[in-house]
Structure 1
């Protein structure tokens, strides 16, 4: 395919090239002549932006984008906009562009930019009707506040939107943009950070309007008297916006606390962290309290000025820190400096006295937390003492600070009273002519918790009538039970909307995942009328092509939540979760792809994910574990899973062209991993040597057993990939030999005769691990490492895990366990584990699969917390195994030219369903057990050879049919 030739130029506005959290509007109005013959075949608008855009044509929202990209290969979209154009009239293209201005886990910092070009295709050829250039108009959007808090280290920013500061008619053709600036040319296509433009490789995502199911609760609440959100990482290390690696620093925040009237004051953090060492006038605060991770201190204060000092030293990945104060004392925070040195914010940054950037592949770089001046600065007793640290002291920038803190105000509620829910509030559950009228409270704000009935992912919208200045805080959470709310610590999942006055609508352009939406109306003196709340669910466009149903309702429900989880975690790539991260984790996606093959049958998203990974080659030949990302982090297993997934995709689709394209990238990284072997022949590596969250021995440096085993598996699958690519056997011979050699070394050095099991690791100092885990034994069996007597021993552990072995800690690891059980033919044990593990989720009202199993180490601080993320696609294993193992449909040849149908009833009376095929159509299966007879019906498209096998102990009666292929 010839690359597109562009007339358009990249444009931006005046000022900084890569501003933080910048919302910028662009417009262009052009005449579209009426040619009289209706000859326009189509009108295609090609568009890309750094970092995100929303496109409007003549006031109608047309689309969003672009998909996540490496800067050197920037994707662009093509929208068919003919239906929105007015022939013989003026037409307006309007684009809202969000530029992050910093790197995160799904974006690498570039610079602000928009590129757009409208092509008219007629019988006479193609003509450019509009293209970005200096004649376009632009302005900073006035409503979105650029100092909004970071959502999380993985993502961009929460929203603070002041509707009083913007005219929503800006996308309409008749809007007067004469006061806007001329756009500034950034460069031609191929200039700037975007070296190559690549056409979008997947369909556009869905946008489906969904209403909530019920009002969960109504409360009168009061927020703390003062809240703030601060980006301490960027304040300490301004250059850290250029990457998403961990940083470490030692330093302080200092403010002047001015008490106007004496009384009690509570200082604390609703988000946790950085409150271990706090001083007032040099005296440490003691006796903190609060449910972890929240932390608060109570103090009695007289009238006067107090120096507040907080030790904010941390290992920091990047997120907002929330700080708040409340009490009977009348107070304010002020900059400790007067005059020209005073800050626009009430805080000074003192430090960093020591700092480092940490990259996981290279290990943790320690910093000197005993640096003499840092130690000397502890407990500053007066403003005058700050002069001793002038070289480390500077004002906290306004861009890194806001007191519009919806998260802090929603999490810490000094007062909260529950009320019965009036029936009229249920009008907020749909678009009705009569609004839900929120109660007014004399002392406090009105809070509604709205339940969408299940986890959702997309864009929050509402229509409301309220007086000017009323604040609506919207906060999405995933789980609550009774009075317990699982707050999204580490994720600011909020919108703060300030009313312009009157009836108004808002649709957020920031994707969020949640089940419950907490809506709080603050500062109202007149009733707030809520006409509707909704979410525009946005996922990869799939249909329920796969089906599974059986005689056991619990398994049906488990399959359904697995399907829903997978769907919500299919965006422009597979993502780990729709709430906390929205990140394409490379290793997770291998298992997610297998579930997708059986549940949805989508191919393009899998291919796109696999193709994105080698883009990290410029960071490291070992490939990073989440892409495209500003975090230079390597999990070796994740790269091995990628190689395995590449081979599986080639097998699933029989796509030789893909295999040929991806094979060199797979060989390249594996050769670099093989260079990490030591004199024992084992891979000895420094990195994030992860497999499971459980406390297995997987140090960041040394010989980790499960990694060496998965490397053997990846090498073998790479040889298959090479064959599918048409490569010569000589080209992959080295990898085959390396696999055999590595397997031999594993059995020679990592087997314990005493324990009759594989140990977890050998540490960098040569110490052999004393820990034995089920994880390592499962991987040994799955990867074919164990032979003869060892294999039999390990196989027995799959059924009866030895006492004292570390047990499986996450549904992700369960996927590999189920693979091992299927390989050993123990389908009954697999179903029992699925019933127990996932049935536990169902018992707790889960509508999606959890990231972790409950009461794991991350949850022990609060027994009510069952998991972190309540929707995590690495956990959707039943969506694959119930179809592959119980329904019994397996691929037996590349591209599914041959398939095995071998049901495993495991006590079920019947099952039915369908598995989508890559070339189209399904293999449909229905079986029923009647006594000692299984009645089996199978249909498959013409050209699919079926190998039908009955379960042991049952007589099989079979009926097959062939489906015609168009």
Structure 2
């Protein structure tokens, strides 16, 4: 690509916080020769592209800044030959690092070329630019994983800015930053996957109508960024000691409720007017905490101890006082007047926690931190800490905490939904009227029928200044509504006058969508609500159904979950994170192989991982990310996935490419083998969300076992690459490690592999299913020991720690399949996934109920309700029940070996990686031990069809010629 364009931006900061900046260029297209024209474009952080007022695309895909991805659009069909044409781009610059973006600087790069190679337009100083004046940059962080919630005032911005007729004479010229190839975007790479879909879906019904009151005053403060300079450049955990102070101003005395609706961060204790309030005085369960206080007329000093570890580091405060005429936050110190209504005291000490590695402990004795809360009785007392006092920059203080105002409800009244309000879900129907109740806000709750991931659009009619708060969440059942604490993907939309429409540029995942109407002078009319489901484009090739309706429902939620978690990479979930977790993607890829058969998405996932070696040679567990975090098993699963990609595609060139990166990181992992011959590392030594003994410092058995398997993968990949020396070295290391595991981590008396050896030399007393599963699955357990632990797989002892997540169940099912216990797989699927179905699930849960963070609330069955690492049934029902599995690289040899397990019939399809599909249908009679199998497949496949052992019957095959 011959780039002639320059990177451009506007004046001001290089990397402004949460800035939406708009760009326009008007040019005349020639009267001929514009039928073929392409526009190449990229931006930091994300863009939305319009050509002559038509939205054409969004991007770019996530990438490392030193390998910035650009997109190419065919635009000839949108250009007006011989006329003025407009290209308009809105760039959303995050200004902070997230779990899918590393902070760079604001920038836009674009180049338009005609079919003959003529460069017609480039980004340069002639482009016009303006901040999006209707977007509030002070909206809160969604979470540490995401960027920012959305707050837009439609009355402050002309929505016609994207069109050809818009007058941009009041806009400034853009600033040229430098040529393509400038830092931080030193390499530009073309997009390596197709554009994502935008499939329009509609809500299916109005679930409820509620009038209520909420906090009259709220704010969200980015404590982390305000207290620790440089926090916006990374997403690592920060620990600190410090306080946030403000005054609550009221016109007269009032009894008030203070609410703190964060995710467990930034609240250790507080004081109001010098009265210390410990956590024992707060009511409500984590993360909702409340306290009732008496406010005096005038200013009331609020001091909050925000000390502790924090990832997001957001303090959310709500104030409700029925009898107060006016409520406001005010600066507690006159010398900060006009600068901020909040100030910090501290930090007295802080440390950045680099992923469970060695770090200095916070000194809680510095600066009088421990005594401060009790000694500050009034604002003047803060002057004692003058060296630690600072006003909080307004950019870290949100104008409102919309999430809190949507979640906390006072004087609530549930109202029967009028028939006309159901029009809100009917496409092209009559307008739905949202009623207004004096002194109250009105919430209507919409159900989309199942979870989706994408972009919200709506068309409404309202008076200027009417506030529409949109808030999506994943789950409710009966009267229980699981609000998504720790994730704020709200949208506050302040209306202009009249009929208007809006499309959000921010991706969200939800099933239920609450619309709260506030400050309305008249009822609001809803003319339409739509959602653009956006995912990696896939054809619904994979199919499965059988004689058990429950398994059919489970297969369907597994399919839908996998699709929702295929964005520009595989992601863990469409709501809470949208993060490419490296280890998750291994299992997600295997499921996708049986559903969709697409490979480009996995190839880009695998290629992204080695880019993290500048953060750690052990490779990061989520990429590209500002969190420098390592889960060794996730790196191991990445290497295993590279090998499985080769088995799926027979792409030897890609295997050789990946082997270089596998060899690099394995060499560094082998440096962590200690004097005992075992793998010993400080890190996030995770495998399952369950109380197994997996300390972050010490020898963890499941990691050692998976390292053996990974070294054996390196042996096979090295042979493909022709690296005989490397293969031999990794093979020797694998054998030595396996021997050390069997010598030191086997408990002969208990006949189990122990979970770990702690850093102080203590042998774990915990016995878990997880450790036995991986020892069996990887072949580390051999002979009599394998026979012993395989019995545990078949009948898990009650005193063992049981499997706690569907992710771990994937490995359990693999181990069961290896020992021929497919019936146990189906029984477990029916039990655990059947429980999800019984609770109304339309997608697969991240966790099994009633453990870890679920324990505090028995109604909370899981954190994330859509998690693709949990989609195992779609893989195992295709592989074991239909019986379709590859026996050679590239699926050149395929075996059909169904395992009926009491089912009367099953039928379905599995995509073939070279195109086409394998169709299988079978019927079985367990009483007579007979089965008929019908198979259709491409003719260039060598097909082996087997009846189950002990069955007789008929096999019919039909071959299809390839084009």
**TM-score (structure 2 length as normaliser):** 0.98
Checking the alignment, whether the CA contact within 8 Å between 1:461 and 1:534 is kept in structure 2 is yes
- Where does structure 1 differ by over 3 angstroms across 4 or more consecutive aligned residues? 272-276, 331-340
Q: Structure 2: how far apart are the matches of 1:486 and 1:849?
A: 16
Checking the alignment, whether the CA contact within 8 Å between 2:345 and 2:388 is kept in structure 1 is yes
Deviations 1:210-243 (A, max 9, x none): 1011111001011111111111110111311010
Deviations 1:740-785 (A, max 9, x none): 1110000000000111000000001111001010000000000001
Q: Does 1:285 align with 2:277?
A: yes
Residue 48 of structure 2 aligns with which residue? 54
In structure 2, do the counterparts of structure 1 residues 433 and 484 end up closer, same or farther at CA, with 3 Å as the change threshold? closer
Q: Structure 2: how far apart are the matches of 1:481 and 1:334?
A: 37
Note the C-alpha offset of 1:34: 0.5
Checking the alignment, whether the CA contact within 8 Å between 2:884 and 2:910 is kept in structure 1 is yes
Note the C-alpha offset of 1:914: 1.1
Relative to structure 2, which stretch is displaced further, 481-490 or 556-565? 481-490
**TM-score (structure 1 length as normaliser):** 0.98
Checking the alignment, whether the CA contact within 8 Å between 2:225 and 2:232 is kept in structure 1 is yes
Residue 31 of structure 2 aligns with which residue? 34
Q: Does 1:668 align with 2:659?
A: no
Note the C-alpha offset of 1:271: 2.6
Residue 258 of structure 1 aligns with which residue? 249
Deviations 1:853-892 (A, max 9, x none): 0111211111111100000000000010000111001110
SS in 2 for 1:362: coil
Q: Structure 2: how far apart are the matches of 1:547 and 1:564?
A: 12
Q: Does 1:368 align with 2:363?
A: yes
Deviations 1:665-690 (A, max 9, x none): 01110111011001111000000000
Q: Structure 2: how far apart are the matches of 1:477 and 1:643?
A: 35
Match of 2:952 among 947, 952, 955: 955
Note the C-alpha offset of 1:720: 1.8
Q: Does 1:777 align with 2:768?
A: no
Residue 102 of structure 2 aligns with which residue? 108
Residue 147 of structure 2 aligns with which residue? 156
Match of 1:145 among 111, 136, 145: 136
User: Where in structure 2 are the equivalents of 1:343-358 lying within 5 Å?
Assistant: 343-358=338-353
SS in 2 for 1:815: helix
Q: Structure 2: how far apart are the matches of 1:908 and 1:242?
A: 55
User: Where in structure 2 are the equivalents of 1:333-732 lying within 5 Å?
Assistant: 333-337=328-332, 340-363=335-358, 365-379=360-374, 380-724=376-720, 726-732=721-727
Q: Structure 2: how far apart are the matches of 1:565 and 1:184?
A: 43
Checking the alignment, whether the CA contact within 8 Å between 2:270 and 2:373 is kept in structure 1 is no
Residue 21 of structure 1 aligns with which residue? 18
Checking the alignment, whether the CA contact within 8 Å between 1:342 and 1:395 is kept in structure 2 is no
Note the C-alpha offset of 1:333: 4.0
Relative to structure 2, which stretch is displaced further, 311-320 or 506-515? 311-320
SS in 2 for 1:377: helix
Q: Structure 2: how far apart are the matches of 1:690 and 1:339?
A: 50
SS in 1 for 2:849: coil
Residue 921 of structure 2 aligns with which residue? 926
Match of 2:268 among 262, 273, 276: 276
Deviations 1:353-404 (A, max 9, x none): 0100001152454211232421232231122211111111111111111232
Q: Structure 2: how far apart are the matches of 1:387 and 1:820?
A: 65
Relative to structure 2, which stretch is displaced further, 228-237 or 479-488? 479-488
Checking the alignment, whether the CA contact within 8 Å between 1:104 and 1:155 is kept in structure 2 is yes
Q: Structure 2: how far apart are the matches of 1:175 and 1:333?
A: 39
Relative to structure 2, which stretch is displaced further, 756-765 or 345-354? 345-354
User: Where in structure 2 are the equivalents of 1:290-309 lying within 5 Å?
Assistant: 290-309=284-303
User: Where in structure 2 are the equivalents of 1:152-191 lying within 5 Å?
Assistant: 152-191=143-182
Q: Does 1:893 align with 2:884?
A: no
Aligned length: 956
Checking the alignment, whether the CA contact within 8 Å between 2:217 and 2:319 is kept in structure 1 is yes
Q: Structure 2: how far apart are the matches of 1:892 and 1:953?
A: 23
Residue 60 of structure 2 aligns with which residue? 66
Match of 1:135 among 126, 130, 146: 126
Note the C-alpha offset of 1:427: 0.9
Note the C-alpha offset of 1:329: 4.2
Checking the alignment, whether the CA contact within 8 Å between 2:138 and 2:399 is kept in structure 1 is no
Checking the alignment, whether the CA contact within 8 Å between 1:333 and 1:346 is kept in structure 2 is no
Note the C-alpha offset of 1:257: 2.5
Q: Structure 1: how far apart are the matches of 2:480 and 2:317?
A: 22
Checking the alignment, whether the CA contact within 8 Å between 1:438 and 1:528 is kept in structure 2 is yes
Checking the alignment, whether the CA contact within 8 Å between 1:22 and 1:146 is kept in structure 2 is yes
Q: Structure 1: how far apart are the matches of 2:734 and 2:476?
A: 48
In structure 2, do the counterparts of structure 1 residues 689 and 344 end up closer, same or farther at CA, with 3 Å as the change threshold? same
Deviations 1:521-574 (A, max 9, x none): 101121100111111110110011111111111101100100000000000000
Q: Does 1:758 align with 2:756?
A: no
Checking the alignment, whether the CA contact within 8 Å between 1:623 and 1:634 is kept in structure 2 is yes
Residue 321 of structure 1 aligns with which residue? 315
Note the C-alpha offset of 1:304: 4.2
Checking the alignment, whether the CA contact within 8 Å between 2:276 and 2:373 is kept in structure 1 is no
Checking the alignment, whether the CA contact within 8 Å between 1:160 and 1:404 is kept in structure 2 is no
Note the C-alpha offset of 1:288: 1.2
In structure 2, do the counterparts of structure 1 residues 364 and 850 end up closer, same or farther at CA, with 3 Å as the change threshold? farther
- Aligned-residue CA RMSD (Å): 1.2
Checking the alignment, whether the CA contact within 8 Å between 1:275 and 1:295 is kept in structure 2 is no
Residue 847 of structure 2 aligns with which residue? 852
Q: Does 1:120 align with 2:111?
A: no
Q: Structure 1: how far apart are the matches of 2:488 and 2:567?
A: 20
Deviations 1:333-358 (A, max 9, x none): 44445555325432111110010000
SS in 1 for 2:36: strand
Checking the alignment, whether the CA contact within 8 Å between 2:477 and 2:839 is kept in structure 1 is no
Checking the alignment, whether the CA contact within 8 Å between 1:292 and 1:862 is kept in structure 2 is no
Q: Structure 2: how far apart are the matches of 1:75 and 1:508?
A: 23
Q: Does 1:964 align with 2:961?
A: yes
Structure 2 portions without partners, runs of 5+: none
Residue 242 of structure 1 aligns with which residue? 233
Deviations 1:27-68 (A, max 9, x none): 000011113xxx445110000000000000000000000000
Q: Structure 2: how far apart are the matches of 1:424 and 1:21?
A: 39
Match of 1:819 among 814, 835, 838: 814
Relative to structure 2, which stretch is displaced further, 343-352 or 200-209? 343-352
In structure 2, do the counterparts of structure 1 residues 464 and 319 end up closer, same or farther at CA, with 3 Å as the change threshold? farther
Note the C-alpha offset of 1:319: 5.0
Q: Structure 2: how far apart are the matches of 1:718 and 1:152?
A: 37
Q: Structure 1: how far apart are the matches of 2:148 and 2:796?
A: 45
Checking the alignment, whether the CA contact within 8 Å between 2:678 and 2:699 is kept in structure 1 is yes
Q: Structure 1: how far apart are the matches of 2:175 and 2:388?
A: 37
Structure 1 portions without partners, runs of 5+: none
